[in-house]
């Protein structure tokens, strides 16, 4: 899905000046970081686009958490009219009307609207510009796009957002542990070679953002490896051989293996995380909404957060 354009204007949330966005999860303007999470719920959550499988799972998790799901989503092909989410009919609308419709929904929600974005890499930046223009806080679960441009959009708008290439809480915790290991033990695996294989459903067009992030951690530990070397499995035969269950080939999976081998081949380390379905990411997305709302209500001077911030705060359902 590609979003309509829109110039980013100054907008968004409570508390303090925005200052400079140093990147997802970093402190803005040198001010105090995230405040203690409180029990708080956004007035309404719109999932863009719950026509897709990840968005649909997230919309289900929004309802399961007792949040108010906006019965509207956006898609390049609205011809189906509506889709069913847990018995609730969600209207499909074309991309050309997205900005005007979001403004209307925001007004109906008395300004207490939040968007969860699960669209396509090509839509990340134009969608974020629209959210920023309207002052709508958002959770960006879509990978890809121009992340530097995304950071500039947030810096210009002062908007509250959670940006994470992976909303799976336990996977992000693993990434955080490896990041800390790279700080504490730089070069611990120097001289080792690495092979990275990641398997996702064939509809995932880009390299996993999680794989890229973990590769960066391993680089800090001394591995000479470039993200371009990541092996992508998208064909069924190779995926079955990799251990992906037949039932999850197309319904959604994320199987990653990182193999580190010593120069003489006598020592091998293997890290892997295998996920079937999308539920864990959907639940993490809801946690992100609740956390972001708590930061807005408290007037946190930090505006841009990562899933690591949420984990550190213990703001998990």
Q: Is 53 a catalytic residue?
A: no
The pLDDT of 142-155, averaged and rounded, is 94
Instruction: Given the residues 169, 200, 253, 293, select the one marked as catalytic.
Output: 200
Cβ contacts of 47 within 8 Å, gap of 6 or more: 55, 58, 59, 62, 69, 70, 73, 115, 116, 118
- pLDDT at residue 8 greater than cutoff 60: no
Q: Say how far apart CA 14 and CA 192 lie, in whole Å.
A: 48
Residue 158 burial (CB < 10 Å; 0-12/13-18/19+)? buried
Residue whose structure tokens are 């199987």 = 255
The pLDDT of 243-248, averaged and rounded, is 96
**Bridge-based pairing state of the strands 88-93 and 82-85:** antiparallel
169-276 fold: Dihydrodipicolinate Reductase; domain 2 (3.30.360)
User: How much is the pLDDT for 21?
Assistant: 34
For residue 199, the cross-strand partners are: 233, 255
Q: Is 293 a catalytic residue?
A: no
44-167+280-313 fold: Rossmann fold (3.40.50)
pTM: 0.77
Taking the domains of the chain in order of start, what are their residue ranges? 44-167+280-313, 169-276
The pLDDT of 134-160, averaged and rounded, is 95
Tell me the pLDDT tens digit for each residue of 183-195.
999 999 999 999 9
Instruction: Given the residues 41, 53, 195, 204, select the one marked as catalytic.
Output: 204
């Amino acid at each position: 899905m590609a979003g309509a354009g829109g110039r980013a204007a100054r907008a968004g949330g409570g508390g303090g000046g925005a200052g400079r966005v140093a990147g997802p999860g970093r402190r803005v303007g040198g001010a105090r970081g995230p405040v203690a999470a409180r029990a708080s719920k956004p007035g309404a959550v719109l999932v863009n686009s719950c026509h897709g499988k990840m968005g649909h799972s997230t919309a289900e998790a929004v309802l399961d958490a007792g949040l108010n799901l906006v019965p509207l989503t956006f898609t390049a092909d609205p011809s189906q009219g509506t889709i069913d989410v847990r018995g609730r009919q969600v209207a499909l609308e074309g991309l050309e009307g997205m900005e005007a419709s979001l403004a209307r929904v925001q007004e109906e929600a008395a300004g207490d609207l939040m968007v969860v974005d699960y669209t396509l890499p090509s839509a990340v930046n134009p969608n974020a510009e629209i959210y920023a223009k309207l002052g709508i806080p958002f959770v960006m679960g879509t990978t890809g796009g121009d992340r530097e441009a995304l950071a500039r959009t947030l810096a210009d708008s002062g908007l509250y957002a959670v940006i994470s290439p992976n909303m799976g809480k336990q996977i992000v915790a693993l990434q955080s542990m490896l990041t800390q290991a790279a700080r504490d033990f730089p070069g611990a695996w120097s001289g080792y070679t690495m092979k990275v294989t990641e398997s996702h459903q064939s509809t995932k067009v880009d390299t996993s953002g999680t794989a890229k992030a973990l590769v960066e951690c391993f680089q800090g530990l001394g591995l000479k490896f470039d993200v371009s070397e990541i092996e992508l499995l998208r064909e069924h035969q190779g995926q079955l051989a990799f251990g992906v269950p037949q039932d999850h080939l197309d319904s959604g999976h994320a199987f990653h293996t990182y193999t580190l081998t010593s120069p003489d081949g006598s020592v091998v380390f293997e890290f892997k995380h295998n996920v079937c379905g999308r539920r864990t990411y959907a639940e993490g997305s809801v946690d992100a909404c609740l956390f972001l709302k708590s930061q807005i209500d408290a007037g946190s001077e930090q505006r841009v957060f990562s899933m690591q911030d949420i984990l550190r705060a213990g703001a998990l359902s």
